[in-house]
Amino acid sequence: MPAQTVNIPVDEILNKATLLTNLANACDFPSYFSHNWDSAWDCLTDSEVTHLMLDLTAVKKINTEDFNVFKSIIEDAYRDFGKPQLWVIMPSVDDA
């Protein structure tokens, strides 16, 4: 993983609210960030962040719909602007 990778902290629950709040804090989004997916995309593409890391090993409950939307905004931003790359660390099958 590149040295400039920004870690998005997560707790036991991963959903839209926790993803957006933790993404905004980790990437130092501006005060006008309105905590929705469109605003997250806008702030990400305006930011200097080029690499994100999301460690899911401690997560107990994932809202898969919210996680998929999160991944899609990262994919869209990468496709349009070449950044950011997302690194996702998943628990091993043995840990489940």
| Residue 84 falls inside a structural domain | yes
Identify the domain containing residue 65 by its residue range.
6-95
Distance of alpha carbon 40 from alpha carbon 27, whole angstroms: 10
Interval 5-36: pLDDT, tens: 999 999 999 999 999 999 999 999 999 999 99
Q: What is the pLDDT of residue 3?
A: 84
| Residue 1 falls inside a structural domain | no
CA separation (Å) from 17 to 3, 4, 83? 27, 25, 23
Distance of alpha carbon 7 from alpha carbon 79, whole angstroms: 21
User: Which whole number is the average pLDDT over 55-75?
Assistant: 96
| Residue 52 falls inside a structural domain | yes
Q: What is the pLDDT of residue 93?
A: 73
User: Which whole number is the average pLDDT over 54-74?
Assistant: 96
Q: Report the DSSP beta bridge partners of residue 6.
A: 52
pLDDT at 95 over 70: no
Categorize the per-residue pLDDT at 86 as very low, low, confident or very high, splitting at 50, 70 and 90. very high
| Residue 85 falls inside a structural domain | yes
Task: Give me the CATH number covering residue 87.
Answer: 3.30.370
Domain count, the chain: 1
